[in-house]
Amino acid sequence: MDKRDVIDFSALERELHAAVESAHRHERENEAKLRAVSQRVSYSQFRDLVLSSHLKPLDQKDKDGGPRKQPWNPVAPPSGR
């Protein structure tokens, strides 16, 4: 058997995951472009909308005033001391 005859399944899986992620990114950015065009925004706003298309909106629990799961500075002592 040649090296060419052996199938590297882990490489195929990595390639598949990369292709799927690329397709999702393309679809997400294309949808953002279509939304931006329909809103008739300036080019800088269009660019910002497309570049931020991977971001998800905050939930109500994520907004200011809600409990934080991770402090900004985990080394600092808790406030109130």
More confident: 49 or 60 = 49
In a domain, 72, yes or no: no
Q: Which string of b and e fits 48-65 if b means at least 16 CB within 10 Å?
A: ebbeebeeeeeeeeeeee
In a domain, 34, yes or no: yes
Which residues does 33 contact at the CB level (< 8 Å), separation at least 6? 46, 49, 50
CA 59 to chain centre: 16
In a domain, 68, yes or no: no
In a domain, 14, yes or no: yes
| Count of domains observed in the chain | 1
What range does the domain containing 10 cover?
A: 3-55
Question: What pLDDT band is residue 65 in, cutting at 50, 70 and 90?
Answer: low
In a domain, 49, yes or no: yes
In a domain, 77, yes or no: no
Q: Flag whether pLDDT at 58 surpasses 90.
A: no
How far apart are the C-alpha atoms of 28 and 24, rounded to whole Å?
A: 6
In a domain, 66, yes or no: no
